[in-house]
Amino acid sequence: MPVFFIHSHDVVDGLVTILDPLLTHLSKSLRTKPGDFLLFNDDQGHRYHTTVVQITKQNLQASIQRIENSPSQTGPPIILAPAILKGEKMGWVIQKATELGITAIRPLLTERVILQLSPKQEETHRARWMRIALEAAQQSERWTLPTILPMHTFQQFIETPHPSPPIVMAERTGAQSLLTIPCVSEESSTVLTVMIGPEGGWSPRELDAAQTAGYRFASFGKEILRAETASLAAVALLQARFQAEEGVEL
């Protein structure tokens, strides 16, 4: 069932108190009523199993029946840095990457991305993507929300310090498979970033810049994947690798 995200200060004396905008969603869209069971996650890694005791125009109150603690992190946090896709494809990538457990998403404006946005339009896109991530996180019962980071141009991304060299997914470069490439940042305290090119692929200039910056190149083998497929395949393969190394059953 969906899990809803709250702040720890919403929990007092065994009760979760919900105000707008979540109140309106629960009461009007979902038609929640007293006696219904609801799940809430707070910002401190707690999951509350609750029963609704009261709904008014001002708030919803739910009595806590049980509290769970967040499980430990398996493998390093993963940041997905995909080139921005046109139409609904970008929202689809964000939705599915959220379901797969991505930590953060850094949208990239690369040379072959056909998109010109004003600062206001950028914020509008980001707000929409954040809503998509929130809904996906609720439906997939995630413990945390992924962060939708501000858009970066490729050059801005190159100039940004990274905890470990990002992995660039690049076809036709003879790069090592993502299944076997050494991930030197597989400690849980280190962030791993994987970059996915646009529908037209990385430009030669971008590949040269990434190589000069010391980024690692990887591939999916001989198959050439669509950009949206590549994003999800990369996240799924990395998550599977880390869970296998931790001995987690898939």
pLDDT in tens, 22-41: 999 999 999 999 999 999 99
Domain boundary among 22, 39, 69: 69
What b/e sequence results for 65-98 when a residue is b if at least 16 CB atoms lie within 10 Å of its CB, and e otherwise?
A: eeeeeeeeeebbbbbbbbbbbeeebbbebbbbbb
Contact (CB, 8 A) for 214 and 208: no
Is the domain of 83 the same as that of 65? no
Domain boundary among 69, 97, 117: 69
The predicted model gives 173-177 an average pLDDT of: 79
- Give the model confidence (pLDDT) of 85-143 as tens digits: 988 999 999 999 999 999 999 999 999 887 777 788 889 999 999 999 999 999 999 99
Is the domain of 102 the same as that of 52? no
- Judged against a pLDDT cut of 90, whether residue 175 lies above it is answered with no
Kindly report the three-state secondary structure assignment for every residue of 152-205: EEHHHHHHCCCCCCCEEECCCCCCEECCCCCCCCCCCCCCEEEEECCCCCCCHH
Choice among 150-154, 185-189, 194-198 with the minimum mean pLDDT: 185-189
Q: Domain of 112: which CATH number?
A: 3.40.1280.10
The predicted model gives 171-194 an average pLDDT of: 73
Q: What is the pLDDT of residue 114?
A: 72
Q: What is the pLDDT of residue 146?
A: 96
Q: What is the pLDDT of residue 70?
A: 92
Q: What is the pLDDT of residue 132?
A: 97
Is the domain of 85 the same as that of 200? yes
**Domain span holding position 145:** 78-246
Q: What is the pTM of this model?
A: 0.88
- Judged against a pLDDT cut of 80, whether residue 203 lies above it is answered with yes
Is the domain of 47 the same as that of 110? no
Tokens of residue 28, six digits: 């009007």
Residue whose tokens read 């393969």: 237
- Give the model confidence (pLDDT) of 48-91 as tens digits: 999 999 999 999 999 999 999 998 877 789 999 999 998 899 99
Average pLDDT in the chain: 90
Which secondary structure element, helix H or strand E, spans residue 243, and what is its range? helix 227-246
% the chain with pLDDT above 90: 72
The Cα 198–Cα 45 span in angstroms is: 35
Number of structural domains in the chain? 2
Is the domain of 41 the same as that of 125? no
